[in-house]
Amino acid sequence: MFLALTYCLLFLVLLLKSNLFTEKIFSKKFIVVLFFLKLTGIFVYLIVYSTDAENYLFKNDTQSILHDAKIIYDSLFSQPKDFFKLLFNCNDDTTNYLHSTYYSKMEKWYLIGKSDFLLNDNKTITKINAFLMIFSFGQFYAQIVLNSILSFLGSIFLYRSFKKYFPKKEKLALLILTFIPSVYFWTSSVLKEPILFFSLGLFIWAFFNLIINKEFNLIKLLLLIVSLFLLTLLKPYIIVVLLFPLLVFSLIEMNILKQVLSSYLILIFSGISILISISFFCFNKNIFSIIAKRQNDFVSIGYGGTFLYQNGIYLRLENKECSKLKLMDDSLKTYTLKKGIDYMYWNYPNLKDTFFVKNNDDTLTQYEFRSTVVPSHSLIEKRQLEPTISSYLNLFPNAVANAFFYPFFINCKTTLQFLASTDNLLFFVFLTLSLFYRSKEKLNKNLLLFLISSVVLLFLLVGYSTAIGGALVRYKVPFLPFLWMIPLLIIDEEKCKKKFKFLKNK
């Protein structure tokens, strides 16, 4: 805890000294207060998910990320060369020594059904947290404070990027970018969201400064490259989603393009068509198949199961089949399968092709127990998406409804579903207010269409590819600031204050 407090104080000094936090509109004291309010999100997150934070015991992926990162971090002191191999080696699956010494001891290094979409899996965030452990010394509270500091910086970077488009609304803009309920909660964790939010904010800030504001600076160029690299590792589809809206926005801001609406429609549609064609013809990748596979993986995870391993075979059993396992060695956690059992399996190191076995007759092979996935209580789509036009059209209404409205107090079973519902409700109240109390000033159509197109593209992708409600809520987090900036752009804050007098002193 002492180290965590030390990092808080060091960041406080940075807040007071750095020009990044200097604003004419409000004092640095306001930024300091926001930072400490942001840190309260840590306690909220611990209340919801933690059972024993100091020993890395959680009720979600935080536990496996910390557990696996600690194995990498500990190698720094026993085998320093292995530490760097684990951190930077992209071909780790084919190295038997690393597998037997480290990977076999990890909880979720081999993620069944991982995406084909570049490096979008749990390995990257595990490696990043292993690197951060150099500064946290493996102490949990220092680790989560470092994550929260990075996410807060992401909010500041986003604010600095967009503040000129919100004259007289700067303070409200910063509050929104920091305290959207889902952003506040999920970026106060040890998951992908804090690092992702930092990377996105840094990328937008560096891009705006270099391209739109034409303020070339070698440091900003390096920051742009670093942020782009992090986004590519964490969520490469975010770059794909942002690519064409950001390109059109920049060309219009630089007066290269004049027609706003037609430019967005033509260039985004053309760009996506070209991207799909290049992926198919040059890389032999069918984007629609990749999205469908991702959705199918979520459906499988939603139903849960038990995972076993033996000599290059990863095996998954349905929960109803678990009673047909026979324990052979309690200390080693090895099992054999009873006759007649059904299962699916993957060959290591190729985890892309899935094989199915009906009525098993092999009762001798012993398998090591790896993990059990509890069936999800938030499985929102049981139909499996297929890479066909008809399948995409059939699921379109559900994809839109899930992405933009789920959950909305319907069948809320958990605290987090209620939190996400509240998030949606607050947004629709804000949107309604913005339409009733519209600003009379000329609307920035370029920014509005940039925000709308970015949100629509990401939300549709998430709606199609994600069948579990908890994951869907998290995957929307990076672009929630873009969503909330839409009504912020439209609303007249002074009109609201006149109508709702209790807001005057806020």
- For residue 226, tell me if it sits in a domain: no
Asked which of 169, 195, 225 is the last residue of a domain, the reply is: 169
Positions of E strands within 413-499: none
- CA 384 to chain centroid, in Å, comes to 22
The answer to the question of residue 67 being in a domain is: yes
Q: Which residues, 6+ apart, have CB-to-CB distance to 369 below 8 Å? A: 306, 308, 333, 334, 335
Return the closest-CA partner of residue 247 out of 263, 227, 224.
Answer: 263
Length of the chain: 506
One digit per residue, the tens of pLDDT, for the chain of length 506 reads 889 999 999 999 988 888 878 777 888 889 999 999 999 999 999 998 888 888 888 888 899 899 999 999 999 998 899 899 888 876 555 557 887 788 878 877 765 444 444 334 578 899 999 999 999 999 999 999 999 999 999 999 999 999 999 988 888 999 999 999 999 999 999 999 999 999 999 999 999 999 998 888 899 999 999 999 999 888 888 998 898 999 999 999 998 988 888 888 888 888 888 877 877 777 677 788 888 877 877 777 777 778 888 887 888 887 777 777 888 887 778 889 988 888 888 776 565 677 888 888 888 898 988 777 777 767 777 777 888 888 889 989 988 988 888 887 776 777 778 888 888 999 999 999 999 888 888 889 999 999 999 999 999 998 888 888 878 888 899 999 999 999 999 998 777 777 666 555 55
The whole model's pTM is what? 0.85
| Torsion angles phi and psi, residue 424, rounded to 5 | -65, -40
Residue with tokens 């900003």: 220
Task: Look at residue 427 and tell me if it is in a domain.
Answer: yes
User: Where a domain ends, among 150, 169, 188?
Assistant: 169
Q: Which residues contact 189 (CB under 8 A, 6 or more apart)?
A: 45, 49, 62, 144, 147
Query: Does residue 130 sit in the same domain as residue 9?
Result: yes
**C-alpha–C-alpha distance, residues 210 and 271, integer Å:** 23
Question: Do 368 and 476 share a domain, yes or no?
Answer: no
Residues 421 and 280 both lie in one domain? yes
Domain assignment of residue 364, given as a range: 305-373
Q: By the 8 A CB rule, do 176 and 169 touch?
A: no
Nearest to 454 by CA among 479, 476, 431, 478: 479
Q: Same domain for 413 and 362? A: no
Residue 199 lies in a domain: no
For the chain, the domain total comes to 3
- Of 373, 398, 420, which residue sits at a domain end? 373
User: Rounded distance, CA 144 to CA 146, Å?
Assistant: 5
363, part of any domain: yes
Residues 478 and 402 in one domain: yes
Spatial distance between the Cα atoms of 287 and 281, rounded to a whole number of angstroms: 11
Residues 360 and 407 in one domain: no
> What's the start-to-end Cα distance of the chain, in Å?
34
